[in-house]
């Protein structure tokens, strides 16, 4: 198993910077990304979380948006 395959199988990731996450997924197959706002830390995007991610998600497919906002987290925590 390649390291990238082990990472994809065993890890989940969250990000404040969606463009970097999508580049890692595209270039290295590292997926499972979820959006985070990192509250209450100083580098948080809160209280502008929705505006921040809406801007970053502009132009993405409906499937990608669903996966990042809900799908990967639901799979990680085994939610319906």
Strand partners for 35: 15
pLDDT at 54: 93
Q: How far apart are CA 73 and CA 77, in angstroms?
A: 6
Greater pLDDT, 30 or 19: 19
pLDDT at 60: 93
Mean pLDDT score of the chain, rounded to an integer? 90
Q: Average pLDDT, stretch 17-31?
A: 88
The structure's pTM equals 0.80
Q: Average pLDDT, stretch 48-53?
A: 93
Mention every residue, 6+ apart, whose C-beta is less than 8 A from residue 44. 37, 38
């Amino acid at each position: 198993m390649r390291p990238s395959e082990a990472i994809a199988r065993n890890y989940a990731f969250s990000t404040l910077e969606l463009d970097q996450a999508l580049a890692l997924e595209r270039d290295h197959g590292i997926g499972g990304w979820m959006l985070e706002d990192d509250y209450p830390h100083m580098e948080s995007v809160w209280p502008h979380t929705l505006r921040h991610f809406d801007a970053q998600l502009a132009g993405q497919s409906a499937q990608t948006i669903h996966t990042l906002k809900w799908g990967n987290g639901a799979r990680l925590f085994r939610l319906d």
